Structure formats: C-alpha cells, structure tokens
Amino acid sequence: MGQPVVLMPKPMHATVAEGLSGHCELIRLWEESDPDAVLAARRDEIVAVATGGTPINDAFLDQVPAARIVASFGVGYDHIDAAAAAKRGVVVTNTPGVLDDEVADTALGLLLMTVRELPQAERYLRAGKWQQDGSYPLTKATMSGRRLGILGLGRIGQAIADRVAPFGISVAYHNRSEKDVDYEYYPTLVELARNVDTLVVVIPGGDSTRHLVNAEVLEALGPDGILINVARGSVVDEQALVDALRTGTIFAAGLDVFEHEPKVHPDLLTLPNAVLLPHVGSATVPTRIAMGNLVVENILNWFSSGTALTPVPESADL
Ligand code: NDP
C-alpha cells in the first residue's frame, strides 16, 4: 500500500511539510500547473488536508470526498465550515493552547502602546520634534486604575487577565455563559462595556460574532474608553469604530486585526488615536513552529490511531 496522500492547497509554515515528510505523499497544489486536473485525478486518494487560511466549505469538500481530516494552522477557524465538515464525518483540527502566551503578550503590548501613545511618541522623536518643539505632550490616559473588560474569557482571554493582575487592573468579562472564576460576569456585552473603560476583544470570528462590537457598545464604553482587538476584524463594526474614534465617543483603539485584511480602512490610517498592527498576534518564530508541529501531530495521530489531538468543538463527536 502506498503512503497516505495529504493535500496542501496553499503554502504553509515549513514545519508542516518537514514534519509530514516520510509519512505521506504531500500534494503542494499551488505548485501544480493545472491544480484542477490534479484534484480531479487524485480526488479518491486524498485522505487529509493541511491548511492555513484557505476557505473550506461544502464546495471544497466535494472535491476531496475521501478526506477524513482537515488540519488547520491557527486557533481561529472561521474560514472553515466545521459544521458542514462534521456532517460528512470530516474532523477539523486547529492549534489551540500553543499560542496563548504570544497573543496575550501582543494584547498587553498593544494596550500599553495605545494607553501611553508609545508609537506616536516614537514617531515624534524620529521626526525631530523633540529637539524642535520640546517634550512630547503628556498622555491623557494611564494604565493606573483601568477597568478591563474581556470579551471572550477563553484560553487567550485568561492569559490576558493573568498578565494585567500585577498592574492592579480590575477584570470583568462577557462570554455566552458564566465561568467558574472570580472575575465579574456581565450577561450582555453592552453592560460589560458600560462598566469598564477598556475592552479587549478575543472571541472567535465568523457569522455568529459579526459586528458584536457596534456603535451601541462603543457608546457604552464611553469617552475614556479604549478598545483593543486581537480577535478577528469581523467582530468589530469598523465604520462604527472609525466614527467613534473621530467624534471622541471612545478615546482610542489598538487593533491587530481588520475587517478586510490586509486592507485597512483608510480613515484608520489617518486617525491619531488608533494604534495599528499587521495581524502579528502569534507571529514569532518559536510559536509558529509550535503551531506547525501541532498540525503535523494531528494528522499523524489520525493516521496511526484514528483520533485527532485537538479537534474543534464541532468535530467532538466524530
Ligand atoms: P477560546 O475558545 O479558548 O475562547 C473563546 C471565548 O470566547 C470563550 O470563552 C467563549 O465562551 C467566548 N465566546 C465565543 N463566542 C462568543 C460570543 N458569541 N459571545 C461572547 N463570547 C463568546 O479561544 P482562544 O482564546 O484560543 O482564541 C480566541 C480567538 O482569538 C480565536 O478564535 C482567534 O480568532 C483569535 N486569535 C487571534 C490571533 C491573532 O493573531 N490576532 C491569534 C490567535 C487567536 P462561551 O463559549 O461561553 O461564549
């Protein structure tokens, strides 16, 4: 019997191909001159798919009817219709846990940058204004005494809560269900926003969370409010955010993710009270290697034992 055939639709971190090497035949679809012909010819042989951000839906799965596992690189899997996959008996896996610290560090960095206007101050220095005009103006906001609301107290949300404790910052949260933790729980997002001055968004993207952070939530956050988004751009109504930043409805925002990446709303680029990062939440060499290794382990474990290590909740019963 030949080696199992794994489809990789688009380039992924090198650890994935390296880890699979010797265990399977890997089809690197983007390198094929006629990808459709390759898919048609190998459709009954492809048993696994290794993927980064490729959208995976019913139409895609129709092309690989023998596939039993889709192993995705990253913890967010809003680009995959995991419910449709489960109906076909296809397990979807993601890479939870191995990136929590990295993303929480990014969130904390973004928070400090936004509150203390550190990127703006650095630009001031580089522009020669320190010598020319004197000290950078005092920042209105401070970390001291902030009240942090976490939208999505999951793995990464908890790591963020752990990190702000030494700052003396209070933590509250909103999830769909209350957790057994000491932080104050708000059953609605608007109530949470009303009771904090800093809102960190760290929930999954996708249709069910689209524009949860809307004009009403931003209004509730208030004129001293700071929004940090390290989740997915789709969770925040970007136009409402631009309006809120421009009119002073909220004070500032720090964003790692955007609605139409890599395009960024042009007004965000000009607003002085927005700190913007190019989706670097988990983007370090060690963490990306750990994520790649977990993709490989899921596929190899599936081959050897028929179980995946980190299936997404939709695949739990498979
Ligand atoms: P978890 O599943 O551990 O946590 C998600 C939390 O969100 C859960 O506590 C869940 O609680 C809550 N939640 C889910 N849906 C809703 C909803 N509709 N309303 C309110 N709360 C909700 O995920 P992780 O912490 O591992 O990751 C969170 C997200 O962070 C990922 O899905 C990904 O999109 C993003 N991310 C971004 C990165 C970046 O580079 N910027 C890197 C890694 C992740 P409950 O079920 O009770 O509602």
Residue 1, pLDDT score: 67
Contact, 219 vs 189, CB < 8 A? no
For residue 88, what are its two tokens?
A: 């076909």
Q: Are residues 75 and 178 in the same domain?
A: no
Q: How far apart are the first and last CA of the chain?
A: 26
Q: Is the CB of 254 under 6 A from ligand 1?
A: no
Q: Which residues of the chain have pLDDT under 70?
A: 1
Q: Are residues 244 and 116 in the same domain?
A: yes
* Domain annotation covers residue 281: no
DSSP helix/strand/coil, 178: coil
The rounded distance, in Å, linking the Cα atoms of 11 and 304 is: 25
CATH assignment at residue 51: 3.40.50.720
Q: Are residues 258 and 168 in the same domain?
A: yes
Residue 2, pLDDT score: 86
The ipTM value here is 0.99
Q: Is the CB of 76 under 6 A from ligand 1?
A: yes
CA distances from 277 to 61, 159, 253, 297 (A): 34, 20, 11, 31
Residue 279, pLDDT score: 98
Catalytic residue of the set 68, 146, 232, 288? 232
Ligand 1: centre distance to CA 152 (Å): 5
Q: Measuring from atom 14 of ligand 1, which residue has the nearest CA?
A: 203
Q: What is the mean pLDDT of the chain?
A: 98
311 beta partners: 93
Q: Are residues 195 and 248 in the same domain?
A: yes
Q: Are residues 123 and 51 in the same domain?
A: no
* Domain annotation covers residue 137: yes
Ligand 1: centre distance to CA 94 (Å): 13
Tally of domains within the chain: 2
Residue 194, pLDDT score: 98
Q: Residue 235: which domain range?
A: 100-276
Residue 256, pLDDT score: 99
